[in-house]
Amino acid sequence: MTRIAAVHGALPSHRHTQREVTDMVARTCLPPGADRRVLDRLHENARVRSRHTVLPLDGYRDLDGFGPSNDVFIRSAVDLGAQAVRGALRTAGLRPTDVDLLMFTSVTGIAAPSIDARLVTRLGMRSDVRRLPVFGLGCVAGAAGTARLHDYLLGRPDDVAVLLSVELCSLTFQRHDTSPANLVATALFGDGAAAVVALGGRRAVAGPEIVATRSRMYPDTEHVMGWDIGSTGFRVVLDPGVPDVVRHYLADDVREFLGEHGLKPKDIAHWVCHPGGPRVLEAVTEVLDLRDGALDVTWRSLADIGNLSSSSVLHVLRDTIEQRRPEPGTPGLLLAMGPGFCCELVLLRW
């Protein structure tokens, strides 16, 4: 079976309290003299204490349009991505030349050549490394990308595969946009990256084993999450009904998936859940009837760094490995949801 040899997270150097971010959003999104009570309430209720950004907060005032924001994305994604991949390979005891597949995912910027292509020479990878850039999966991509590494390694059990996620959500905040969706996004999302190193079954390595995966698309839900893309960049689509979609679909999918492996939700020792936001996490806890504290690592990640889109669930996975130290042989479930609307489940054995 595929094993996860290492997970490494990377964060930009600019760290801010939630209040500092709220004040920046008030300056850039609200008209002069506007009543900011709704903004303050949204940011206070997000359960986020601090976040990291690729620019100093004053730098967002000067970003005008999609082009300048995307230029910052490319430069910063290469730097942060290199840091994440180097850290993961170092932890796994591997070199860049050992990598056979490099998968890159982001939904907060675009580049051609893609970010992964720009990293091959910078990191010293082989010229024949396979690359797979992925755009559009959004928050689900950390889980989906891990599952796709597993799919690849089932067919190539001697290989080393790396997933890199870089999400610079602050670059997508829309200036002068007072819509509820934009204000909610500014309350939740931060910047960060993460890399996963996975090894095929013929390579002996310690680490969580990927037992099985499941992808699920939900009908008539395309409108609940995504982007409207225009001259100002990525304008968030975020329907307030997202928690209701979770309540309607998630429990049956999880129970069916676990049941195929002789398990029930109560058997899962560690839940590695994407921190979509307080209302989403409350819905997950409710429909799966999770025990108290089951999502503590996820809640802590949300508070410390915010929602990093696809990178977040990988930070939660790293924190679970390092802080919870799961007992060998116990089952875990990695799960995330994103645009589509869709869900990705990855069954782990520690």
Instruction: Give tens-digit pLDDT for 170-194.
Output: 999 988 888 889 999 999 999 999 9
**Distance between CA 195 and CA 141 in Å, rounded?**
12
**Distance between CA 303 and CA 48 in Å, rounded?**
4
pTM of this prediction exceeds 0.85: yes
Give the CB-side neighbour count of residue 36, counting CA atoms within 13 A: 16
Give the confidence band of 324 by pLDDT, cuts at 50, 70, 90. confident
Task: Name the DSSP letter for residue 43.
Answer: H
> Residue 222: its pLDDT value, please?
84
- Name the residues annotated as catalytic: 139
pLDDT average, residue stretch 283-311: 96
> Residue 11: its pLDDT value, please?
98
**Distance between CA 87 and CA 92 in Å, rounded?**
9
**Distance between CA 135 and CA 104 in Å, rounded?**
8
Residue 252 burial (CB count, 10 A): 11
Contact present, 223 and 239 (Cβ < 8 Å): yes
> Residue 120: its pLDDT value, please?
97
Q: Is the pLDDT of residue 225 over 90?
A: no
Q: Is the pLDDT of residue 269 over 80?
A: yes
For residue 113, give the amino acid letter.
P
In order of 60, 100, 234, the CA distances from 228 in angstroms are 20, 35, 6
Annotate 205-230 with b (16+ C-beta within 10 A) or e (fewer).
Answer: bebbbbbbbbebebeebeebbbbeee
- Least trusted range by pLDDT, from 8-22, 186-200, 226-240: 226-240
> Residue 166: its pLDDT value, please?
98
**Residue of 203 and 105 predicted with greater confidence:** 105
**Residue of 202 and 213 predicted with greater confidence:** 213
- Summarised one tens digit per residue, pLDDT across range 47-106 is 999 999 999 999 998 888 899 999 999 999 999 999 999 999 999 999 999 999 999 999
Bridge-based pairing of strands 160-168 and 130-135 is unpaired
DSSP 45-88: HTT--EEEESS-GGGGGG--SHHHHHHHHHHHHHHHHHHHHHHH
> Residue 143: its pLDDT value, please?
98
In order of 81, 114, 160, 254, 291, the CA distances from 129 in angstroms are 17, 14, 10, 35, 43
Comparing C-alpha atoms, which of 132, 135, 110 is closest to residue 120?
132
- Summarised one tens digit per residue, pLDDT across range 230-240 is 888 888 888 88
> Residue 63: its pLDDT value, please?
85
Task: Name the DSSP letter for residue 329.
Answer: T
> Residue 62: its pLDDT value, please?
82
- Summarised one tens digit per residue, pLDDT across range 114-170 is 999 999 999 999 999 999 999 999 999 999 999 999 999 999 999 999 999 999 999
Q: In the chain, which residue ranges form alpha helices assigned H by DSSP?
A: 18-29, 37-45, 66-92, 115-123, 141-155, 180-188, 242-259, 278-288, 296-305, 312-319
Q: Is the pLDDT of residue 29 over 90?
A: no
What integer best gives the mean pLDDT of the chain?
94
